[in-house]
Amino acid sequence: MLMDSSAPNPMLFSPEAQSEFWGGMQPDFRAFIAHFEKKETFTYEFNELPELFIRMAHALPRVAQLPIDEKSQDILVKLIPLLVSMPFGTCIFAIHWLNHQAGESPIGWGTLCYLEATNITNNVADHQHYDLARQLVERISTIMRSRKAHGIHAQWPFKSK
């Protein structure tokens, strides 16, 4: 399965991988995601810039293997624009994938990105990535608010076993 491997997989963000991940979700929820993606004008699709998604697919497993410590903030800040440049559903998949790679850690890189974006949004209005951080927070907040309404009872964005 694509989500279980921390090895670089150039097809991690391909349309096929996205279909595999989202295919298990309820059709209404998939339509919900598609609705938001149709309104996006600031993201890139896999077929527009496949090299961007392939590079991300090589980089994220390396990020997921890094220790989480005080030095992580710089990496988290750099991940925010990359995640937001992806379509809504692909971004959510990437955050979920990063969390899934956390191993024994109770918190993963995906959740840490969300927390860093929340910190920027709430406390650093002049940050160079403020608007992108706000967008990431909105995306994740939208998913968290809607999951119950759509019958998704996972503990996402926190790592679940």
Q: Considering only CA atoms, which of 89, 84, 83, 86 is closest in space to residue 30?
A: 89
Burial class (CB in 10 A: 0-12, 13-18, 19+), 135: buried
Q: How far is CA 87 from CA 7, 38, 93, 139, in A?
A: 23, 9, 10, 10
**Distance (Å, rounded) from C-alpha 147 to C-alpha 76?**
25
Contact (Cβ atoms closer than 8 angstroms) between residue 87 and residue 45: yes
Contact (Cβ atoms closer than 8 angstroms) between residue 65 and residue 10: no
Instruction: For residue range 37-62, list pLDDT tens digits in order.
Output: 888 877 888 888 888 888 888 888 88
Mean pLDDT to the nearest integer, 29-39: 85
Residue 17 has pLDDT above 50, yes or no: yes
Residue 3 has pLDDT above 50, yes or no: no
Instruction: For residue range 145-154, list pLDDT tens digits in order.
Output: 886 665 555 4
